[in-house]
């Protein structure tokens, strides 16, 4: 078990090496927030186990009412406990926890304020990040682009944690549920943590597919037309079991 230290202002213990905010949480965690936090931590750990992030890179959030629960800054996901719940309102004011939220909080909040997202996953997945340095848009190598709303755009580079990055991301996300961040990584959102994670994984897979197909000397991969991607997107709306 990781060693703990006590925050003198809040009177509670926090993980060793974690940064603590200057004042204690403003209210207790509600049952629905506690459940969502557990699901968030499980998703964050899955991004590591599935190779989508290294160390503490990337971050995950989930919306519960008007509160956004988000992974804290610089804390390994395997150390997170129910006592480490971090939450902010949609204006960015921290209302839960003593650990600092991720530096990418502005990007997460921009998604929630502009879309119907209930969860957001941001990663530094290697193939997706590689593609973000090569093209302004992921070539339509597979019909699963339709599941993300169409060809995946690349948001121009901006320093991490800035409002400029959040604005660039929103433009790339217009009518899409995922985009690439130039020289940075990916961001995807969904109606649940599972959906946001699955979209992230699909995006990384498509980037790996395009890089693989493009690496064959003397050959270029066949790409789908905009109409073909749109048709697939319509069919994918009804994919899966009903009920």
Active site residues: 104
Cα dihedral 56, 81, 103, 147 sign? positive
Distance from C-alpha of 187 to C-alpha of 102, rounded to nearest angstrom = 14
What contacts 81, CB < 8 A, 6 or more positions away?
Answer: 15
Residue with tokens 């004011």: 93
Please state the separation of Cα 68 from the chain's center in Å: 13
Distance from C-alpha of 191 to C-alpha of 121, rounded to nearest angstrom = 12
User: Three-class SS of residue 181?
Assistant: strand
What contacts 222, CB < 8 A, 6 or more positions away?
Answer: none
Structure tokens at 206: 């498509």
């Amino acid at each position: 078990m990781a060693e703990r230290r006590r925050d003198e202002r809040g009177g509670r213990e926090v993980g060793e090496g974690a940064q603590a905010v200057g004042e204690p949480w403003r209210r207790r965690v509600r049952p629905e927030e506690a459940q969502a936090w557990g699901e968030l931590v499980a998703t964050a750990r899955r991004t590591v186990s599935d190779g989508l992030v290294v160390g503490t890179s990337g971050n995950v959030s989930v919306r519960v009412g008007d509160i956004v629960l988000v992974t804290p800054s610089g804390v390994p996901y395997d150390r997170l406990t129910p006592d480490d719940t971090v939450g902010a309102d949609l204006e960015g004011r921290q209302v839960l926890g003593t650990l600092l939220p991720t530096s990418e909080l502005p990007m997460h909040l921009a998604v929630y304020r502009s879309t119907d997202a209930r969860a957001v996953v941001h990663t530094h997945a290697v193939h997706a990040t590689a593609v973000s340095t090569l093209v302004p848009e992921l070539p339509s190598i597979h019909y699963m682009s339709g599941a993300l709303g169409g060809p995946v755009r690349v948001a121009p580079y901006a320093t991490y944690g800035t409002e400029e990055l959040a604005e660039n991301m929103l433009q790339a996300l217009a009518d899409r549920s995922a985009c690439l961040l130039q020289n940075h990584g990916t961001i995807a959102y969904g109606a649940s943590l599972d959906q946001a994670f699955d979209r992230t994984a699909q995006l990384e897979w498509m980037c790996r597919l395009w890089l693989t197909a493009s690496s064959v000397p003397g050959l270029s991969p066949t790409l789908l037309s905009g109409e073909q991607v749109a048709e697939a997107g319509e069919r994918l709306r009804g994919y899966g079991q009903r009920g």
